[in-house]
Structure 1
């Protein structure tokens, strides 16, 4: 039987898996952007001509000269660059080359975040955290920095779960069992069949679903303290939770961002529990 804990006790193997999963996630994001590329044309929903009007400072002479960096053609080129970097990165052997490729991805991602004022979410932030950690680690190429990087990523992931759980616990709609039904009834993230099924279900069942998420997220910090294999159910729950969100709600980025960070949790757990 494959021993995940033993495998991810090696920081080099952790970085290899994290790099692979991050690249897969970013490739999917870029291909999704390319699938709706027409929306980034001057007459599209995500036109830079429209987005640039949000702040006066963007309309000064300097930004007029930089318009070519945020237009339709530049946007397509940026996505192709990210795709190229993500294809090369997992196979790159030189640490400096890896750092350069990640730096390119980071710079382009920052440009896209500045250009697009809608659609960003927690997965984008987690991808940014992972990419910056990978960049610093590969650039310095020191065992101590590699280990600190993994601890930092795992800490961010655990904190994000716990904060999300506390936020849900504060909400009356989550505590009362209405939250998931309401989400499933939305046009953006909802699913008609699931919404109908939940509406027909008992109040106790809906309360159970909501409290299941609240409790597990609030207790997610236990993954770094519980000995193997007792912390594995938390990660399986997280995997299935994000898989559901990806398939039903269309939150693909969350699935790959959190999955990419899971090796760091294995590593930190191994450091603490031995």
Structure 2
């Protein structure tokens, strides 16, 4: 796999994820109004520079409701253009930076209710924008791979440190939550501590061991990526995370480039 192909696949997959997340926000515009838990009138007070002076006025102009939805709409158009139109040169750089800036502002604007996919998409698009603007596609791909390995490993290692993830009660507890849970799955696993324990250990082991994918023999790479995708699909369906698959899958072309690029 050549760097150009890996970059383009990453751009398409990540762009679909951003488009889905943006349309979710636009479909529920009042999720950030002044009566929501993401009210900018309250959240702006978390930092001095967003609540006072000229910077505060600029922040209000960009992030206050309903003006913040304009940024989401722009992000949707930019992501769709990157996926469907495949622009190049300065136009591609502009669209990549628009998406990156909008994702960064969205993280500042609505810090509650997000999940790991938001951070992954921001890092991926930031890497793509830097590569398109300053060159260094190979560096960008290696950086995305390093970020993916860190994300998986840190998630698994953090779980290892907590006994509830080693004995399976943590997994069952998450499935019972209102935000990320699934009543059907929680019901099926209730009263089955051994199954919960083994599922939890499998999850923790897979996440922690993910960096070893870089040592995978190339013929086995499609199998491992397929298993990882299946895991993300199951989690996305179970927890209702519509962007979960797309965000992490956008890192896989970079993984493929790094692994297959070692073959000479």
Q: Same fold (TM over 0.5)?
A: yes
Structure 1 residues 48-127: aligned runs within 5 Å: 48-66=40-58, 67-90=60-83, 91-127=85-121
Structure 1 distance, partners of 2:142, 2:69, is 35
Query: Does the Cα contact within 8 Å between 1:21 and 1:259 map onto a contact in 2?
Result: yes
Give the unaligned 5+ runs of structure 1: 1-8
Q: Which moved more, 1:114-123 or 1:18-27?
A: 114-123
Aligned counterpart for 1:268 among listed residues 253, 258, 264: 258
Query: Does the Cα contact within 8 Å between 1:226 and 1:273 map onto a contact in 2?
Result: no
Matched, 1:235 2:229: no
Query: What is the TM-score of this pair, normalised by structure 2?
Result: 0.92
Query: Does the Cα contact within 8 Å between 1:220 and 1:234 map onto a contact in 2?
Result: no
Structure 1 residues 1-274: aligned runs within 5 Å: 9-66=1-58, 67-90=60-83, 91-141=85-135, 145-201=136-192, 203-274=193-264
Give the unaligned 5+ runs of structure 2: none
Query: Does the Cα contact within 8 Å between 1:227 and 1:273 map onto a contact in 2?
Result: no
Equivalent pairs, count: 262
Note closer, same or farther for the CA distance 1:233–1:168 as it changes in structure 2 (3 Å cut). farther
Shift of 1:64: 5.0
What SS does structure 2 have at the residue aligned with 1:65? Answer: helix
Structure 1 distance, partners of 2:114, 2:187, is 29
Residues 228-249 of structure 1 show CA distances to partners (whole Å, capped at 9, x for unaligned) of: 2223333222211211221111
Note closer, same or farther for the CA distance 1:40–1:164 as it changes in structure 2 (3 Å cut). closer
Query: Does the Cα contact within 8 Å between 2:38 and 2:109 map onto a contact in 1?
Result: no
Residues 114-136 of structure 1 show CA distances to partners (whole Å, capped at 9, x for unaligned) of: 22231233222211111111111
Question: Which protein is bigger by CA-based radius of gyration?
Answer: 1
Note closer, same or farther for the CA distance 1:218–1:88 as it changes in structure 2 (3 Å cut). same
Note closer, same or farther for the CA distance 1:162–1:234 as it changes in structure 2 (3 Å cut). farther
What SS does structure 2 have at the residue aligned with 1:272? Answer: coil
Shift of 1:157: 0.6
Shift of 1:68: 2.0
Query: Paired residue for 1:4?
Result: none
Query: Does the Cα contact within 8 Å between 2:221 and 2:256 map onto a contact in 1?
Result: no
Residues 75-99 of structure 1 show CA distances to partners (whole Å, capped at 9, x for unaligned) of: 1211111111112123233222111
Structure 1 distance, partners of 2:31, 2:202, is 39
Structure 1 distance, partners of 2:49, 2:144, is 35
Shift of 1:63: 4.3
Residues 57-113 of structure 1 show CA distances to partners (whole Å, capped at 9, x for unaligned) of: 433232453222112232121111111111212323322211111111122222222
Shift of 1:46: 2.5
